[in-house]
Amino acid sequence: MRVYADNAATTAMSQKAVDAMTPYFRNIYGNPSSLHSVGQEAKEALDAARASVARCLGCEPREIIFTSGGSEADNQAILSAARYGARKKKKHIISTAFEHHAVLHTLQKLEREGYEVTYLDVKKNHNITAQQVRDAIRPDTCLVTVMYANNEIGSVLPIAEIGAICKEAGVPFHTEAVQAAGHLHINVKEQNIDMLSLSAHKFHGPKGVGALYVRRGFPLVNLIEGGAQERGKRAGTENLPGICGMAAALQDACEHMDENMPRVAAMRDRLIEGLSQIPHSALNGDRENRLPGNVSFCFEGIEGESLLLLLDAHGICASSGSACTSGSLDPSHVLLAIGRVHDVAHGSLRLSLSEYNTEEEIDHILTVVPQVVSYLRSISPVWRDLQTGKRQYIL
Amino acid sequence: MALYSEAVMDHFMHPRNVGIIEDADGVGEVGNAKCGDIMKIYLKIENDVIVDVKFETFGCGSAIASSSMATEMIKGKSIHEAMTLTNKAVAEALDGLPAHKLHCSVLAEEAIKNALKDYYDRNGIAYDPKEFPDCEHCAHCE
Ligand SMILES: Cc1ncc(COP(=O)(O)O)c(C=O)c1O
């Protein structure tokens, strides 16, 4: 049995998304900027995709900019707000300690340029409160950028409340909704969101395509200069197959959200309940406000990469925030930010589900994970020291 | 996963010499949990020959495979031969390790040397301290 439980990394494309893309490779191959009929056919498809994405987010089509993915959208949103702020002598930004690197590294770049960033603490409930945002806002705050939902630990942030606070304070609000789009109900107007990024490959769409919603009138800075595509805000001939695939995938996800997500959440809850039985383990992330597909644990006494390799040998594809899987010497900044110490952060496991997963697969995971954890503990000197009292349990 | 060679995967999936030796003649432990890998080696030594060796490892796939391979390479060897085991030899025997995993083979070499040092210490055998790694001062975990 092969179980793909790494849907937060990327998803399999849906048949609908594939079908929506294929005409644009060979039949409707025109450049949307061309005047002739072949180009205009492509232009129509582009407009339809933009309208479809806008409908899913509750905004106007002209407020959607297509990008090469979530990272680009995050970069553009943050840099735009920062430049706009600087023009008004505002150079303070509010974010969280557990953002994706697409956000964090952009913020670090701005810090090197003299901006000041407040990273809200995420230790309590592995989440932030809207009050924390309210308390952090200063007269010189030019942007609040907090993720909609965390990719590693699944916490869903109080976006509507934060949106209301930002609106009241007159501070632009960006949320990177890469893990939320297609999985949670989003309405940028009701939630007072000024900018939102998303990425198609997280909801069964293609890789390398995403979108940035920008409230009408908000001044954007270009990352890529060139032609006048995307209202002059993002140059380059549009990735029409990708954009059409994304629009179809998002529409499909939003139309079936109310039937799919409760089923995914039920599988998630079975996993959380089952894996919680493993002694000296701990759930990462907010238990109440949680992505329907996210399961994240730390298991004391073992290391995540060896866990992943053994799970893979049993057909289970998962991920970990251990240092060995991150390619650096430190475990994931997200796990450290929620207060996991290095020793246990190395032993993390993330299983991320989609509606393609089945109850049988959950059974398989629930059989295999405890076995593999016990085996690795049985060969671990750390576990022996914990068991013999030479070392104190952390979890 | 094609991250590792077949030899690494074999030693990771089927590690040789896993466990502990209750009445070991030398025990060496290197690494720390903060870094994400700890190796512990147990030696049974008779007439200067390593008659048995066991290991326990907390760490990634290459750490477990390096421990397994290193124990295989010193089992039945004299302690003098074991002293000459290098991390390079361990990595080569595993058909190579990814560059960022080479420290796992270093840990294996150091764990064995620490276990031998423990044996010398217990038996009052003189040695040149320079021959032994000092894990406290290695830069790996900084
Ligand atoms: C939370 C989050 N933000 C941003 C990204 C980057 O998106 P993309 O790969 O489309 O650039 C990802 C995933 O890769 C993500 O999980």
Please count the structural domains in chain B. 1
**CB atoms A329 and B37 under 8 Å:** no
Please count the structural domains in chain A. 2
Q: Is the CB of A233 under 6 A from ligand 1?
A: no
Cα of A166 vs centre of ligand 1, distance in Å, is: 24
Is residue A126 domain-shared with residue A262, that is, in the same domain?
no
ipTM of the complex: 0.94
- Given A255, A271, A294, the domain boundary residue is A255
Residue B1 placed within a domain = no
- Given A255, A284, A318, the domain boundary residue is A255
Cα of A66 vs centre of ligand 1, distance in Å, is: 15
The letter for the amino acid at A101 is H
Which chain A residues are Cβ-neighbours of B33 within 8 angstroms? Answer: 342-343, 346, 382
- Please report the atom of ligand 1 found closest to the CA of residue A202: 13
Rg (alpha carbons) of chain B, rounded to whole number: 14
- Given A255, A290, A309, the domain boundary residue is A255
Q: Supply the range of the domain harboring residue A205.
A: 15-255
The 3-class secondary structure across B81-132, one letter per residue, is: HHHCCCHHHHHHHCCCCCHHHHHHHHHHHHHHHHHHHHHHHHHCCCCCHHHC
**CB atoms B15 and A379 under 8 Å:** yes
Residue A129 placed within a domain = yes
Residue B142 confidence class, pLDDT cut points 50, 70, 90: very low
CATH number assigned to the domain comprising residue A276: 3.90.1150.10
Residue A111 has pLDDT above 60, yes or no: yes
Is residue A298 domain-shared with residue A209, that is, in the same domain?
no
Q: Is the CB of A199 under 6 A from ligand 1?
A: yes
Residue A46 has pLDDT above 70, yes or no: yes
Q: Is the CB of A100 under 6 A from ligand 1?
A: yes
Residue A395 placed within a domain = no
What's the pLDDT at B136? Answer: 54
Residue B135 has pLDDT above 70, yes or no: no
**CB atoms B36 and A329 under 8 Å:** yes
H or E stretch including A50?
helix A37-57
**Ramachandran region, residue A312 (left: φ > 0; alpha: ψ -120 to 50; beta: rest):** alpha
- Count of beta carbons in the 10 Å neighbourhood of residue A65: 23
Mean pLDDT of A171-190: 98
Q: Supply the range of the domain harboring residue B68.
A: 6-141
CATH number assigned to the domain comprising residue B68: 3.90.1010.10
User: What pTM, to 2 d.p., does this model score?
Assistant: 0.95
Our answer to whether residue B35 is catalytic in this structure is yes
pLDDT tens digits along B79-97: 999 999 999 999 999 999 9
As a whole number, the mean pLDDT across chain B is 92
Residue B10 placed within a domain = yes
